[in-house]
Structure 1
Amino acid sequence: MKKYRINVQGMTCSGCEEHVATALKNIGAANIETSFHRNEATFELPDDVMIETAQKAINEAKYQSGDAEVIETHDAPVLGDEGDYDFLIIGSGGAAFSAAIQAVEYGAKVAIIERGIVGGTCVNVGCVPSKTLLRAGEINHLAKSNPFLGLATSTGKVDLEKLVEHKNELVASMREQKYEHLIGEYGFELIRGEATFVDEKTIEVSGRLVTAKRFLIATGASPSIPDIQGLRDVDYLTSTSLLELKQLPKTVAVIGSGYIAMELGQLFHNLGSDVTLMQRSPRILKEYDPEISEAVTKALTEQGIHLITGVTYDRIEASGDLKQVHISVDGEKKVIEVEQLLIATGRKPNIEALNLNAANVNIGSKSEIVVDDFLNTSNPRIYAAGDVTMGPQFVYVAAYEGRIAADNAIGGLEKKVNLEAVPGVTFTSPSVATVGLTEEKAKAKGYEVKTSILPLDSVPRALVNRETTGVFKLVADSKSLTVLGVHIVAENAGDVIYAATLAVKFGLTVEDLRDSLAPYLTMAEGLKLAALTINKDVSKLSCCAG
């Protein structure tokens, strides 16, 4: 018995769902679920019924069947007898643990290889440590300059060493609970050491040769260092080393202005450092819609962060205990002199020690491991997931991919990765959240688009918070008004974006958002207001989006 998901076009109501379900039931399908919102049907078929039979039944019911994929099977794992392990995973982050847990549930013999600290980037040097320090910075900033008249708040000297110590305690606790403890809980093996492929089915680790039926490479990524004259000759910080500083620097320069640069730059600004953000491109967040870039630029500038765009880096020099960054902007030479220099210009895949040539695994132009829609590499034994493939670099994407890799490698399924509705959040203040297509990308895909741009000062929650720098933007198909993308700059944007993700994923329309109830005086109400104002003047609406 296999479970399938099939795209079905032409369903417009619950009655259509019943017609499709009846057609599938008549050919022996079971556990049928149909959805006209998602344009799909899921169902189980006996092994002697071909998926083509289901597609034909749907077509004969006057609907249009599309692509089908296997999403679950009740058969035993499709593996041979060779190898020390069924599934050997290199890395121990989100993708690795998700894959290991899923593979164990299939009954596979699984081992994880880790050369350093268990848990990968997120819990050790990424999401968890940075976000807890960001929260500390936000509290310090609000205490120094809250927006309410009549409320007196103040701050003392920041003890960065104590903050970092407290952060490390949280990291250690979460690493133990969410990673190390699970190794014994699920019964897979941890092998310590550096993994190197000897051939297509053998790895050497700590002098030991290990073979497996299937492999997963989930080694993540690490900070990429640009080629700037003199940079290698000075002490600089990365997103990893900056989180271990014990003394708060008076001045910090950040090369780069992606999400890592902005988050960590604002962190040190909020703790009391004088911060300069620099980047080569003419605007920050260049891959985002211009309205998002403009709102973030305004917010950072209002807060007192120095932002320099269109930079050419000439050289970097040491001057005593200071660093001098020599730059050119519009032909004008400038020197930025600071105590600490943070390099935040992107990340590169961790593949150096793997000897992928021996395994016949192809890499791409950015040294990423190239995978197909099923996360299979050029070697059919080997899969890859997470940041090492240079897809969306979020731990939840890595975990999602790890599970799919295990389903395909061990479960024998043929699941495709679907990253069309991946939410992304930048944890600045205000935060930035986005999902789906930008206006430019929607047009490039051939859509005629209609947009709604709602300034944050039209959202009641922002008014009562007295924090009104930001924006909501909806991108919709002009004909069907299907929501193609949502982009937000606002406090708690990361919480709001989940509702927007569901709208994009399941093909909701602007009318669906307008007809939904949104609680008054929440930031989520901005999503409904943006839908309401796609063809109305927001100033002519009542205070509670009536």
Structure 2
Amino acid sequence: MPEAAVSDVDLAVIGSGGGAFAAAIRATNLGKRVVMVERSTVGGTCVNTGCIPSKALLAAAEARHMALEATGRFPGISTSAGPVDMWELINGKRSLVETMRSDKYVDLVADYGWELRQGTAVFAGTPGEPVLEITGPDGSSSEVRAAHYLVATGSTPWAPPVKGLQDMDYLTSTTAMELEEVPESLLVFGGGYVALEQAQLFARLGSKVTMLVRSRLASAEEPEASRALMGNFADEGIRVVRRSSVLSVRTDPDTAEVVVSATVAGGQEEFRAAKLLVATGRRSVTEGLNLDAVGVKTGDRGEILVQNTLVSSNPRIWAAGDVTGHREFVYVAAAHGTLAVENAFNHAGREVDYRHLPRVTFTSPALAAVGMTDKEARDAGIRCECRVLPLEYVPRALVNRDTRGFIKIVADSATGRIVGITAVARDGGDLAAAGVYILQAGMTVDQVANLWSPYLTMAEGIKIAAQSFKTDVSRLSCCAS
């Protein structure tokens, strides 16, 4: 076998998603030589199997849902919607993904001029002198020696150890978006953001959906959010079974249905559906990287353990994005990639700060939040004061004829400083974005209550929620608040 070719570079990146590209772009702009290694499809989770395809399908499902519900909601409007041509819908999604992968990922490699190698990377050498061994799809081998390495290999759907599940052809968030027919019925394991989005997506496309949830929907967020989502899902025919623990899964040989046995409220119940979607979380992709050989420590879920500067236990090896086990948002991964490069080459000493990180679940209406929940504030020793504003007091929601949801503000009662904002509302993500600026500026309830805010926007709801701390907002004029 011929001796492997050896390359010496400044930065070697494993992976090609948002974190990897952000790092490569920043390093290239600093004049560094970069090699990126990708074993599969360029672009990572977000563009290929995550944000882009899921939100494209959610938008399509919402358009169909709006057509079905507009009659009666808006006087004088009569609409209808026929069955979904799932093959056409999925084909359109694939076309969008291919275009964005080309425009926002593949083409940028040539634009910036770093080297992209297709192949599987494995660490070798020693902790003091790590190298990457790369095996190409044709079996060829090469080595890369770098001043610094960045692992940005992302995460993959994880399934719990349920009896019979390993023998099932169950769906994940990835494979569900490749179905070419709408399943007549669907069972969903999980109550987090992926489960919520996928459940509503398929319900709106025509599936009869049942969710089996261990605690409550969106359990990490405000309890008001869970209650609002429960109500909204019930209105759309989605059954949510709370405090359920799945015992076993099997296939009925006569009907080919999925049969799930679960404990519910102290008893045992059986659930049936045409398809099963498991959305119970994700795990970092580190298996096979041989991290132990180069002194990189990992956690119980395979995640690379990093300091707040994103350096691993090896000072020359960094990590970014889902592989760290940190918040699974593409904008976190991108921020990680840039920060790691700044710290590696400019010795910036910057640390990741999640205090004002926005988080959005793209249900309709959306669940969006920034900062602390009520409980998190109290656990942090903050004596807090909260207000929950129903959307019936937000003029934009009244005009939309959609008052499902609320806006909640959590404030430090001693200073009035806002420490958290949560909303279940249409355009909730935009409310969370506005909340980032409010929290970053350290603004108080009084300051927000007296700011300019354009009338007939959802963002005006944040101002009205702030006003509710001292004012009976039911007695405000809608146009002169």
Q: TM-score range by the shorter chain?
A: over 0.9
CA contact (8 A) 1:529 1:545 kept: no
Aligned to 1:334: 269
Which digits, 9 at most, give the CA deviation of each residue in 1:459-515, with x for residues without a partner? Answer: 111112121110100011111111101000000111121111111122111122112
Does 2:301 align with 1:404? no
Structure 2 Cα separation of the partners of residues 219 and 87 of structure 1: 15
Structure 2 Cα separation of the partners of residues 340 and 148 of structure 1: 35
Aligned to 1:541: 476
**What 5-or-longer segments of structure 2 have no aligned partner?**
1-5, 136-140
Deviation, 1:240, is 0.4
Structure 2 Cα separation of the partners of residues 381 and 212 of structure 1: 9
Structure 2 Cα separation of the partners of residues 109 and 144 of structure 1: 54
Q: 1:126 aligns with which of 39, 50, 61?
A: 50
Q: 1:273 aligns with which of 203, 207, 214?
A: 207
CA contact (8 A) 2:7 2:143 kept: no
Deviation, 1:170, is 0.4
195-204 or 344-353, which deviates more = 195-204
CA contact (8 A) 1:228 1:315 kept: yes
Q: 2:91 aligns with which of 165, 169, 179?
A: 165
- 1:188 aligned partner, one-letter code: W
1:316-327 equivalence runs, <5 A: 316-320=249-253, 321-327=256-262
1:470-481 equivalence runs, <5 A: 470-481=405-416
Aligned to 1:245: 179
SS at match of 1:357: helix
CA contact (8 A) 1:322 1:338 kept: yes
Aligned to 1:26: none
Structure 2 Cα separation of the partners of residues 541 and 366 of structure 1: 52
SS at match of 2:23: helix
Aligned to 1:376: 311
SS at match of 2:110: helix
Structure 2 Cα separation of the partners of residues 449 and 292 of structure 1: 18
SS at match of 2:416: coil
Which digits, 9 at most, give the CA deviation of each residue in 1:131-174, with x for residues without a partner? Answer: 01000000111111222233211011110000000000000000
SS at match of 2:346: coil
Deviation, 1:411, is 2.2
Aligned to 2:285: 350
Structure 1 Cα separation of the partners of residues 382 and 100 of structure 2: 44
Aligned to 2:14: 90
Q: 2:194 aligns with which of 248, 260, 267?
A: 260
1:484-499 equivalence runs, <5 A: 484-499=419-434
Q: 1:214 aligns with which of 135, 141, 148?
A: 148
Aligned to 1:190: 116
CA contact (8 A) 2:191 2:219 kept: no
SS at match of 1:236: coil
Aligned to 2:34: 110
**Structure 1 residue runs of 4 or more that deviate by more than 3 Å after TM superposition:** none
Aligned to 1:285: 218
Structure 2 Cα separation of the partners of residues 418 and 464 of structure 1: 38
1:30-109 equivalence runs, <5 A: 84-109=8-33
Deviation, 1:331, is 2.1
SS at match of 2:293: coil
Aligned to 1:203: 132
Aligned to 1:520: 455
Q: How many residue pairs are counted as aligned between the two chains?
A: 464
TM-score normalised by the chain length of structure 2: 0.95
Aligned to 2:392: 457
TM-score normalised by the chain length of structure 1: 0.84
Structure 1 Cα separation of the partners of residues 345 and 27 of structure 2: 6
Structure 1 Cα separation of the partners of residues 269 and 417 of structure 2: 48
Which digits, 9 at most, give the CA deviation of each residue in 1:181-219, with x for residues without a partner? Answer: 000100100011111111331111112222111000110
Does 2:63 align with 1:139? yes
Distance 1:528 1:545, change over 3 A: farther
Deviation, 1:83, is 6.9
CA contact (8 A) 1:386 1:399 kept: yes
CA contact (8 A) 1:106 1:411 kept: no
Distance 1:545 1:278, change over 3 A: farther
**Which entry has the higher C-alpha Rg, 1 or 2?**
1
Which digits, 9 at most, give the CA deviation of each residue in 1:199-247, with x for residues without a partner? Answer: 3311111122221110001100010111110111121000000000001
Deviation, 1:444, is 1.0
Identity over aligned residues, as a percent? Answer: 44
Which digits, 9 at most, give the CA deviation of each residue in 1:81-113, with x for residues without a partner? Answer: x97110000000000000001001111110111
Distance 1:173 1:267, change over 3 A: same
CA contact (8 A) 2:321 2:337 kept: yes
**What 5-or-longer segments of structure 1 have no aligned partner?**
1-81
Aligned to 1:232: 166
